[in-house]
Structures are given as C-alpha cells and as structure tokens.
C-alpha cells in the first residue's frame, strides 16, 4: 500500500508582507500552484521540441520531418525523444541553476530539503520519475492514466511523489512572466 502523502502547504495569505514572513531556509515560501508548474513544463517541452526540430533540419537539410510525422507511431517516438532530451538536460538545469527555462520564466526554483540546488544524481532521478510517473513516457493510454492520477492527487491537495518523497520544494522567486507573455511564448 502506498504511504499517505502529506498535504500541500496552504497558500500564503493575501498580504505580500505576510507572505514574505513565511520563510523556508532563507527563501520566501511558494504556494503550490499546479498551473505554474504545468505551464513551465509546457514551455520546457516546447523548447526541447524546437531543439530537436533544428537538429533534424540541420542534419537532413530539408523538411523531411513533416513527412516522417505522418508515418504511424512517429509522433509517439518523437514525444519519447522529447522526454529523453528532457531527461538529459533537466538535471543540468536543476543542478547548476535550480530551475529550467520554464520554471525561471514563472519565477519558480526547485530546492532540496536543505534549501540547496539538487545534485546531478538527484536531478536525474527526479527527471526520470517525472518522465515515468508523471508522463508515462508518453505511451498511449498509460500516459493519460498517469496524468489523471497526478490530477486526482493534486485535487486532493497532495504534491507530486517525485517532489514530496525527497523533500523537494519550490521556492518562489519573483514573477517574471505575465499571462500575455506566456501566450506570446
């Protein structure tokens, strides 16, 4: 039986001064905002998709990628490639800066239980668990099931298992991106 997950922290009070007083290892505490995390992940995946598309165009010097995506299962393989690229790059982002580009734009930084950036091993393990437990490696039907379970847990006030089990927390830095900027990105 899966152990009971701790409840998410309550959102900070409406007053900015009160929110600044709620500290976590010298950093302002962030409220749990699943939408920020979802949009940050979406921006990261769009960035990885752009990198893969550019690499494909440079390697093959044509737009054959458009024709290949009409081949059965090509989209599934492409999305698995995106997750593999995320698995390779996110540990580096998290170790050296404590954020990915999407997290940075949304003013989130990920810290371990001591309030420090994740080690490369911690970042890799977290990214692996996100790819498997969060995205189901984009395997049809399985990925929908995994995402539904994550949604259900979030609605019950629980954090993602790849974060709460290791004691990782998001520290909110500052808001860098408004809603219209997200739409533009």
Question: How far, in Å, are 22, 28, 169 from residue 131 at the CA level?
Answer: 32, 28, 18
pLDDT given at position 137: 85
pLDDT at 2 over 80: no
Mean pLDDT for 5-12 is 52
Indicate the DSSP class of residue 185.
-
Determine the 3-state secondary structure of 29 from DSSP.
strand
What mean pLDDT comes out for the span 120-127?
A: 92
pLDDT over 60 (residue 146): yes
Task: Band the pLDDT of 86: cuts 50, 70, 90.
Answer: very high
Residue 101 has pLDDT above 80, yes or no: yes
Any idea what DSSP says for residue 70?
T
Angle (CA) 69 78 104, round 5°: 125
When pLDDT is cut at 50, 70 and 90, the band that residue 63 belongs to is: low
User: How large is the average pLDDT for residues 69-89?
Assistant: 82
Reduce the DSSP state of residue 7 to 3 states and report it: strand
Range scoring the smallest mean pLDDT among 63-72, 86-95, 148-157:
63-72
CB 87 within 8 A of CB 128: yes
Mean pLDDT, range 113-136, rounded to an integer: 89
Q: State residue 12's pLDDT score.
A: 45
């Amino acid at each position: 039986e899966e152990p009971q997950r701790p409840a998410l922290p309550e959102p900070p009070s409406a007053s900015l001064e009160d929110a600044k007083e709620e500290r976590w290892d010298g950093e302002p505490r962030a409220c749990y905002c699943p939408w920020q995390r979802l949009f940050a992940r979406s921006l990261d995946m769009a960035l990885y998709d752009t990198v893969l598309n550019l690499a494909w165009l440079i390697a093959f010097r044509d737009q054959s990628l458009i024709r290949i995506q009409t081949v059965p299962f090509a989209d599934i393989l492409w999305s698995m490639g995106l997750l593999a690229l995320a698995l390779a790059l996110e540990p580096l982002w998290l170790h050296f800066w404590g954020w990915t580009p999407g997290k940075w734009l949304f003013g989130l930084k990920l810290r371990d239980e001591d309030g420090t950036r994740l080690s490369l091993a911690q970042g890799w393990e977290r990214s692996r668990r996100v790819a498997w437990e969060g995205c189901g490696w984009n395997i049809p039907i399985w990925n929908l099931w995994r995402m539904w379970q994550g949604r259900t847990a979030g609605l019950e006030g629980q954090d993602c298992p790849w974060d709460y089990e290791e004691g990782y927390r998001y520290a909110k830095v500052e808001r860098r991106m408004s809603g219209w900027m997200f739409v533009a990105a």
